Structure 1
């Protein structure tokens, strides 16, 4: 049996932060992207600010609009969710270890 030790980041990065960086790089305003996606600007803002999770449907809209494959957005959301779950588990199982990680 093989044991693998891998570094696991305990700093979750919501895909909305990545989307914001992409918009900044391309110099695209949020209102314009919201219009192109066919969603309200407030909804887009919620995605960008981590208040909404990236769904498969939203990821496909981003793929169609920005050309970034939907699987990337879905994977980023899954990694974000998994990292948050790991943090929660560490806090619950071993509070001293969690405090040492901070």
Structure 2
């Protein structure tokens, strides 16, 4: 398995990234009511594919969407305690979003 980090700045943002030669539009949003970061995944033209994924640790964020055949996994992990949820302050510094490919 191979992996790489998607660099994040810890602010709500929309950007494009290429994974396995496919361009995706990713939107990250902090939601105060839930106290969590959420991820939306769209195609290069911003057509939604998956919306409202909470950035939680300990599981592949895309596992429940296997039928969409992304061909990769998304994992969130923190530096100090791998199972700590990313906070508003530490996403992109000590909490990270990783892509894992076969």
Regarding TM over 0.5, the answer is no
The answer to which structure has the higher helix fraction is 1
Q: Which has the higher strand share?
A: 2
Q: Which structure has the larger Rg over C-alpha atoms?
A: 1
TM-score normalised by structure 2 residue count = 0.29
